[in-house]
Structure 1
Amino acid sequence: MTDQRVLITGSAGVVGTLMRPRLKRDGRVLRLLDLAPQTASDASEEIVTASVTDAEAMASACEGVDALIHLGGHSRENSWEATLDVNINGTQTVLEAARAAGVSRVILASSNHAVGFRRNDSDLPADSSPRPDTYYGVSKAAIEALGSLYHSRFGMDVIVIRIGSCFETPLPLGPRGLTTWLSPDDGARLFEACLSAPSPGYRLIWGVSDNTRRIYSLSEAEALGYKSLDDAEVYAEQLASKPAPTGAAAEYVGGPFCTAPLGVFNPL
């Protein structure tokens, strides 16, 4: 049986690091691409040191690939120039390399910040139109549009995941994490559903766990086979003494990103 080869860009980042061990399977090879140094743990991993903005490197990385998980790029607010170069131009470079190589399944990491200025209403649809809160949010809205274009033009199956917050626990995010958390194990379940769903076409889905305080619709992800088994509420007691968001940070999906300075790196 031929191995399934999955290319993961940004594999040394926060989400990539969490997903790498969880997406290992018999009969699957993970091709791990990042600018940061990495070491293969065994023969089921292939290491590529490159930037998503390097068209030649991406073309080579996509050769023989069955599916692509695109996590690469700036994961927080940055200057417009850096955001445009890496997140938007880089994603187009990745998609074009995937198209040329015949990669039929692409999973793109978007963010809640693509709709950051939507209000915190319950059961927010996954395909809500963009209302970005930052340059970073604009780049994620552009990534979603690029995914739609490459599906419509070239028939590529493209699933875009609007990720809430994927960390080991929601604790670094404070009380907001009780709403936005995607547990690493649920993250792996979600990516597996995206990899295995038959002929999904173009889909926008939320990437969150089934949290008690969830405001995001999971019906779109569940239609692909996702089943969340985790809930951030188990951390509620540990966060009880932390100050709750106020003002715009409490009113809008993007939380503190809605008032943070544009173009300035924000660690959370």
Structure 2
Amino acid sequence: MLKKLVLTGAAGKLGSYLRGPLAAMCEEFVSTDIADAVPNLAANETYVKADLAELAPFEEMLQGADMVVHFGAIVDEGPFEELLGPNFIGAYNIWEAAHRNGCRRVVYASSIHAVGMYPKSQAIGIDVPHRPDTFYGLAKCFAEDLGRMYWEKRGLEAVCLRILSCAQVTNPRAVGTWLSYDDCVRLVQRAIDTPITEFSIIYGVSDNDRAPVDNSGARHLGYKPQDNAEQFAEAIFAEYGPLDPHDLSNARHGGPFAGITLGQSAMSLLNLNEDDTGKG
């Protein structure tokens, strides 16, 4: 069991699912976000309101922490200036605060959008060069490179979880890209309890028959997804019918993020349920 674990983005959809399981993995659990509060604190949980664009609160918050699970960010495409603070500077602040406090590892919620412009006809592994589809994806590239540099220059381990789509299956793309909430928890737990990770990248995806990515290069993390989106395929494909292969939203790994104009919101194009604001 870890002595202290910190989770950013605790008020978000995925953070809400992670809080309970992560609290059970440590003696002291600190959750943080820009919301005023989060409900149902665990017995060992303390909540701290903080802005990722400011280093000082996180330098204090990470004192004595073994690891930080960094899920805080704007989870949509937007103008670069809006993403700069939480997504770019925020990533630096987390890694720098972790380094200054002697933390062992950063577990980071990266995204498929770091490589979202690859064609869907190309199955991609964890070692493909960055090919971001948006400013949002570019922030993920920045954080992944930051994590690699802090490992190689400062010995701070990192596991970058390239999440595909962690939300209910409501569109054809999600039949391949779905990461169930239960598998998301399993993924983060393995990123935490694996003894040695150095700098690692792994795709956050369930055991889907049509998964478009290859995790074989990250087997050392021991992640074994248990859910499969194929159960939704027939109904989803019947609802949507044939897709236009010339539309980048259908033809690239990033889905709608690949097809939009830079700076334009993409989340509204994913047909998510109103209460489902998962990544992807």
Q: Which band: TM-score by shorter chain?
A: over 0.9
Could you tell me how far apart the structure 2 residues matched to 1:163 and 1:28 are?
27
2:180 maps to which of 174, 183, 193: 183
1:51: which partner in 2?
51
Secondary structure of residue in 1 paired with 2:173: helix
Matches within 5 A, 1:244-263: 245-246=243-244, 247-263=247-263
| 1:219–1:210 distance in 2 versus 1, CA, 3 Å | same
2:273: which partner in 1?
none
Could you tell me how far apart the structure 2 residues matched to 1:184 and 1:221 are?
20
The answer to whether the Cα contact below 8 Å between 2:70 and 2:108 also exists between their aligned partners in 1 is yes
1:204: which partner in 2?
201
Secondary structure of residue in 1 paired with 2:10: coil
The answer to whether the Cα contact below 8 Å between 1:122 and 1:214 also exists between their aligned partners in 2 is no
Cα displacement (A) at 1:203: 0.8
2:71: which partner in 1?
71
Secondary structure of residue in 1 paired with 2:238: coil
Cα displacement (A) at 1:264: 2.1
Can you list the C-alpha shifts for 1:161-184, whole angstroms capped at 9, x where unaligned? 1110112x222xx01101111111
Could you tell me how far apart the structure 2 residues matched to 1:116 and 1:249 are?
10
Cα displacement (A) at 1:121: 3.6
Matches within 5 A, 1:205-244: 205-243=202-240
Answering whether residue 113 of structure 2 is matched by residue 113 of structure 1, we say: yes
TM-score in terms of structure 2 length: 0.89
Could you tell me how far apart the structure 2 residues matched to 1:189 and 1:223 are?
14
Answering whether residue 95 of structure 2 is matched by residue 95 of structure 1, we say: yes
Answering whether residue 34 of structure 2 is matched by residue 21 of structure 1, we say: no
Could you tell me how far apart the structure 2 residues matched to 1:49 and 1:254 are?
32
| 1:108–1:55 distance in 2 versus 1, CA, 3 Å | same
Can you list the C-alpha shifts for 1:101-148, whole angstroms capped at 9, x where unaligned? 111111111111111111124541012111111111111111111111
Could you tell me how far apart the structure 2 residues matched to 1:220 and 1:23 are?
25
Cα displacement (A) at 1:237: 3.2
Cα displacement (A) at 1:24: 3.6
1:31: which partner in 2?
30
Cα displacement (A) at 1:26: 5.9
Cα displacement (A) at 1:78: 1.1
1:8: which partner in 2?
7
2:278: which partner in 1?
none
Secondary structure of residue in 1 paired with 2:192: helix
| Identity in percent | 33
Can you list the C-alpha shifts for 1:47-75, whole angstroms capped at 9, x where unaligned? 01111111111111111211111111111
Could you tell me how far apart the structure 2 residues matched to 1:13 and 1:84 are?
19
In the alignment, residue 180 of structure 1 is paired with which amino acid? T
In the alignment, residue 67 of structure 2 is paired with which amino acid? A
The answer to whether the Cα contact below 8 Å between 2:20 and 2:42 also exists between their aligned partners in 1 is no
The answer to whether the Cα contact below 8 Å between 2:23 and 2:42 also exists between their aligned partners in 1 is no
Matched length: 264
Select between 256-265 and 157-166 the one with higher mean Cα deviation.
256-265
Answering whether residue 158 of structure 2 is matched by residue 158 of structure 1, we say: yes
Could you tell me how far apart the structure 2 residues matched to 1:23 and 1:241 are?
39
Could you tell me how far apart the structure 2 residues matched to 1:156 and 1:76 are?
28
Q: Which runs of 5+ in 2 are unaligned?
A: 271-280
Secondary structure of residue in 1 paired with 2:189: helix
TM-score in terms of structure 1 length: 0.93
Q: What RMSD in Å do the two structures reach over aligned CA positions?
A: 1.7
The answer to whether the Cα contact below 8 Å between 1:194 and 1:224 also exists between their aligned partners in 2 is yes
Cα displacement (A) at 1:39: 3.6
2:82: which partner in 1?
82
Cα displacement (A) at 1:200: 1.2
Secondary structure of residue in 1 paired with 2:172: helix
Could you tell me how far apart the structure 2 residues matched to 1:32 and 1:119 are?
37
Matches within 5 A, 1:119-198: 119-121=119-121, 123-167=123-167, 169-171=168-170, 174-198=171-195
